[in-house]
Structure 1
Amino acid sequence: MDIVVNEELKAYIDPLTPEEHDALERSLLAEGCRDALVLWGNVLVDGHNRYGICRKHGLPFQTVQNPRFQSMEDVHLWMIDQHLGRRSVSDFQRGVLALRKREILAARKAEPTAPASHDGAAATTEATVAEPTAPVPPPAPELHSRESIAKAARLSSSQVVMIEKIQKQAEPELVAAVKSGTISINAAAAVATLPAEEQRAAAIAGKDELKQAAKRVREAKRKPPREEAAGAADAAPTPEGEASPADTLESLRRRVAELTAENAALRAQLAQLQAQPGAEGPPF
């Protein structure tokens, strides 16, 4: 059988890092390809990296059909579930996959009568896919809340919220940084609130600048209570003809400074008088 590599499926899950790919290659060369590649007809669904390495070195491999696939959506959901269960997948990647699963299930629910067909897969791969004989797979559990998404991805609900923010607001450079582990999910969510140019500049500058940018955002949100009170006083309307609280406070400060200076001058004069010969102390 001629195995067809669907580039859309190959890119559906984030690729291995060069280090991870090298480690897999060493493992296959030492132990062979023990896990079968998963196919849908003649389309490769799971095992793209193993397939490429085996072909490169002429290593034998096994294949297995998954007859439960009825559509490309079924393939995507299966791929997502497979990667959600793998320890090597980062927290951010699991969150993205769980959110992607929610979108697929929501779209499927919105069109319950849409016929299942291989036409999409055939058009994409330009390959003939054998019609499966197995019954239609049972519906996947819905991910209708952040709590259910967090459970599926083994994350907290707050992490899911931050990942959603990153997906919506972060520039590609910032997304690449969080995918690579250069910046944490928490810090990336903070930096994502900055203007696009600032995000890109921080990401290009590297890990230290990203940390500093996240710190600046957090500090800006944590405004001291005194500053907030002063800001509220400044913003409060002042009746016409009356001094505002800020003006009154400034006047009092000036008056205190003047009295302090006068007091200091009087003390200096008294000291000079007491230092003169024959001077008597104060009559009190």
Structure 2
Amino acid sequence: MSIIIHEGLRAYIDPLTEHEYAALERSILTEGCRDALVLWGEVLIDGHNRYAICQRHNIPFKTIQNDHFNDLEDVQLWMIDNHLARRSVSDFQRGMLALRKKEIISMRIKAQDENGTSGNEETDIAVPVVKPTQSRQDIARVAGISSNAVLQIEKIQRAAAPELVQAVRDGTISISAAAAVATLPSNEQAAAVAGGRKELQQAAKQVREKIREQKAPAKTSKLPDSQDAENPSDTNNGAMDQVSESVILQQRIKALEAENAALIEKITQLNAALSAATATN
């Protein structure tokens, strides 16, 4: 049987670590390839590591077909759900996969809205209705992690240097610490990664301390003299924190803009559906 390796699909899911790959290889050498490889036609869509190990050691394997896909995006969505169902996937990988799923679905909805159709008119194949996974809570539910972790992963995805992203994947640094280090310039991130775990932890600590220092109490308007004399502590009780450093504020603004865009897309979709229903009636 001819098996085609699609490089885009193979690179779509994060590779195993050296330890994980070695453990899988030992298992296959001892017990054989117990799980069948999954093919879409001749394209391998699940079992790339097992296939490589079996080829290297001339170990027989089984294959099964999954032909329920219309295009490559269907395959990618299936791969994401397939990996999210596995317990061995880290929280960071889960968050990244859920964000990729959001991106694919958002692009599909946008394309459907632009085309004004929900099906393939040439082949009469119904395109499944897809719901936008836009809110941070939705993404967290898909990934099986907290919404705060999703926020931190979004920060890493947006601003982290490649070296820092790899450090999170390897487990050298936690998601929360990496989100803090990601606010530094790329060259400082790379230098922290090169310094190892302790250097990364120290960099994250310094960033957090800097943010806390910049959250100084804001000045409040003075009370009348008589009230000041009677309640000298009121000024302290009514004090408010100043705005955090500009990078944190910008990230919040971007998050709100993204949520606003998501609401606009939902409203557009609902209006399109209502117009279609009215035209039918």
- The TM-score normalised by the length of structure 2 is 0.71
Please state whether the residue corresponding to 1:45 is helix, strand or coil. strand
Answer yes or no: is 1:196 the counterpart of 2:186.
Answer: yes
Aligned residues: 213
Aligned to 2:72: 72
Q: Unaligned regions of 5+ residues in structure 1, if any?
A: 117-134, 234-284
Are the equivalent residues in 2 in contact too, given 1:5–1:44 (CA < 8 A)? yes
In terms of Rg, which structure is larger?
1
- 1:124-145 per-position Cα deviation (integer Å, ceiling 9, x unaligned): xxxxxxxxxxx76744553121
Aligned to 2:13: 13
- 1:158-184 per-position Cα deviation (integer Å, ceiling 9, x unaligned): 110100000111111111111110000
Q: In the alignment, residue 80 of structure 2 is paired with which amino acid?
A: I
Write the distance in 2 (CA, Å) between the matches of 1:202 and 1:216.
12
Write the distance in 2 (CA, Å) between the matches of 1:170 and 1:224.
22
Are the equivalent residues in 2 in contact too, given 1:80–1:101 (CA < 8 A)? yes
Aligned to 1:83: 83
- The TM-score normalised by the length of structure 1 is 0.70
Aligned to 2:109: 109
Answer yes or no: is 1:220 the counterpart of 2:241.
Answer: no
1:147 deviation in Å?
Answer: 0.2
Answer yes or no: is 1:174 the counterpart of 2:160.
Answer: no
Answer yes or no: is 1:152 the counterpart of 2:142.
Answer: yes
Higher relative contact order (CA 8 A, sep 6+): 1
- 1:206-225 per-position Cα deviation (integer Å, ceiling 9, x unaligned): 11011011001111111288
Q: Unaligned regions of 5+ residues in structure 2, if any?
A: 221-281
Aligned to 1:124: none
- 1:181-233 per-position Cα deviation (integer Å, ceiling 9, x unaligned): 000000000011112221111111111011011001111111288xx36x969
Q: In the alignment, residue 2 of structure 1 is paired with which amino acid?
A: S
Q: 1:71 to 1:81 in 2, by over 3 A?
A: same
Answer yes or no: is 1:208 the counterpart of 2:194.
Answer: no
1:156 deviation in Å?
Answer: 0.7
Q: 1:208 to 1:159 in 2, by over 3 A?
A: same
Write the distance in 2 (CA, Å) between the matches of 1:39 and 1:2.
11
Aligned identity (percent) is 58
Aligned to 1:97: 97
Q: 1:31 to 1:232 in 2, by over 3 A?
A: same
Write the distance in 2 (CA, Å) between the matches of 1:224 and 1:36.
56
Q: In the alignment, residue 104 of structure 1 is paired with which amino acid?
A: I
Answer yes or no: is 1:142 the counterpart of 2:122.
Answer: no
Indicate the RMSD between aligned Cα atoms, in angstroms. Answer: 2.2
Write the distance in 2 (CA, Å) between the matches of 1:57 and 1:172.
33
